[in-house]
Amino acid sequence: MSKLVFINLPVQDLPRSKEFFSALGYTFNPQFTDDNAACMIVSDIIHVMLLTHPHFSMFTPKPISDAKTSTEVLICLSCDSRGEVDATIAKALAAGGTTYKEPQDHGFMYGHGFQDPDGHIWEFMWMDPAAIQK
């Protein structure tokens, strides 16, 4: 059985975050979504829990970092093509996200990213399957 991945992110405005990620095509599992949290489905095994700051604070004794001024994590998701990378970034920008650097093109690997409304960095990358040694 595959392991499930749950990434937990604090967000200032849960409805705004849900609207932003919905504009990118993500859906939410209503069973684990309420006024304090939203379970965003990335894939069958990857989920992102968007948690209000008070709710997120219940899981850690540490203060919540301000992702707009410091970085604790970079989230990187793979794409099936360079076009999918560019389309995802375009959707994010149209929904209110911002870029933080230029796309990186290494020929066999291509990536670009955005910052969500809370400043969390999301990177999307494509790698030529022929470049992956087995």
DSSP labels for 90-112? HHHHHTT-B--S--EE-SSEEEE
**What domains are defined for the chain?**
1-60 (3.10.180.10), 65-134 (3.10.180.10)
- Give residue 119's pLDDT: 96
pLDDT digits (tens, 9 = 90+) for 15-71: 999 999 999 999 999 999 999 999 999 999 999 999 999 999 999 999 999 999 998
Q: What is the pLDDT of residue 131?
A: 83
User: Averaged over 91-105, what is the pLDDT?
Assistant: 97
Task: State the sign of the Cα–Cα–Cα–Cα dihedral 97, 8, 21, 24.
Answer: positive
Question: Of the candidates 109, 50, 48, 38, which has an alpha carbon nearest to the alpha carbon of residue 78?
Answer: 109
Instruction: Please tell me the predicted confidence (pLDDT) of residue 91.
Output: 98
Which value, to the nearest 10 degrees, does the dihedral of the CA atoms of residues 108, 82, 26, 69 take? 70
CA end-to-end span of the chain, whole Å? Answer: 22
pLDDT score of 134 more than 70:
no
Look up residue 89 and give its two tokens: 């970034």
Inter-CA distances, 97 with 23, 73, 87, 89, Å:
11, 17, 13, 9
d(CA 22, CA 25): 5
Mean pLDDT of the chain: 95
How much is the pLDDT for 45?
Answer: 95
Q: What is the rounded distance in angstroms from the CA atom of residue 112 to the CA atom of residue 114? A: 7
pLDDT tens-digit readout, 120-129: 999 999 999 8
Q: Output the CA angle 18-55-29, nearest 5 degrees.
A: 40
Task: Judge whether residue 72 has pLDDT over 90.
Answer: no
